[in-house]
Amino acid sequence: MNQLDFEDVKKKGLRVPKFKTVPAHIAIVMDGNGRWANQRGLSRIEGHKAGEAALLDVVAGAIEAGVKNLTVYAFSTENWKRSTEEVLGLMSIFARYIEREADRLAAESVRMRFIGDRSRLDARLQRLMAGIEERTAQYSRLNLTVAINYGGRDELTRAIRAITVDVAEGRLDPSAVTEALVSQRLDTGDLPDPDLVIRTSGETRTSNFLPWQAAYAEFEFTQTLWPDFTPDELALILKRFGNRD
């Protein structure tokens, strides 16, 4: 696999040019791993591994481009319906990503966090997630947020439940329930809304990704399957975004 890492992207220098206007927050639906694998006669898990490699490159590219917030959709609340083998394979890829990348993310001053309902994830993965969140909490060069067991409706439902509990117990007046308060109570609490959402693999759905937050985002759909998505393509999209702004 032709995999770039932070050092490669830096060495190659001009792969991702600096733009005058970069989105404050890019969100990506990383779709097409299964089809990528199918086309090569590989297992779906091999597709997800290739997708993980693409993410490493894109994170490095986003840093080079000066993007401050990158949120990626790794596993949806609907994805539990896939085969046990695929679900377990994905979970172990997430764990391995955190273990392998922790040092490098910290060295690059990347803050890594997760959104979604983590209560359904296994205890070891939850510990790894909490560990890297804590370890990188002081960094802000790039806020990398990974959505695992994330669904926008689930996120809103959890937020509404928490708000109604506060109202019922007298801590919150209904008149204080504003759009700003709802935004704060979402998993993305302190992140700015995404101004650009990219979905790979030619599907033009949002699949329950950041429905509240992306209300005003620009959408970019590319035919490229996620494992083939590169910092170069990100740079092209950023160039278009810059022109449009």
- Does residue 206 touch ligand IPE according to CB under 6 A? no
Catalytic pick among 31, 57, 187, 195: 31
- Selection from Mg ion, ligand IPE, none that 30 binds (CB < 5 to 8 A by kind) is ligand IPE
C-alpha distance across the termini of the chain, in Å: 35
In this chain, which of 207, 219, 221, 233 binds ligand IPE, going by CB under 6 A?
A: 207
Active site residue 31: yes
Catalytic pick among 5, 79, 154, 228: 79
Token digits of residue 201: 């693999």
Furthest-apart CA pair in the chain: how many Å?
A: 59
CA pair distance 121, 94, nearest whole angstrom:
11
Kindly indicate which of the ranges 28-36, 38-46, 129-137, 191-199 contains the residues binding Mg ion, using the contact rule CB under 5 A: 28-36
Edge-to-edge, what's the strand order for the sheet holding 110-115? 110-115, 142-150, 69-76, 25-29, 196-199, 218-221
CA pair distance 220, 214, nearest whole angstrom:
12
Subset of residues 23 to 82 that bind ligand IPE, contact rule: CB under 6 A: 29-35, 73-76, 78-79
The answer to whether residues 27 and 198 touch, using CB atoms and an 8 Å cutoff, is yes
Subset of residues 87 to 106 that bind Mg ion, contact rule: CB under 5 A: none
Q: Tell me the catalytic residues.
A: 31, 79
Binding residues for ligand IPE, per CB under 6 A? 29-35, 73-76, 78-79, 90, 201, 203, 205, 207
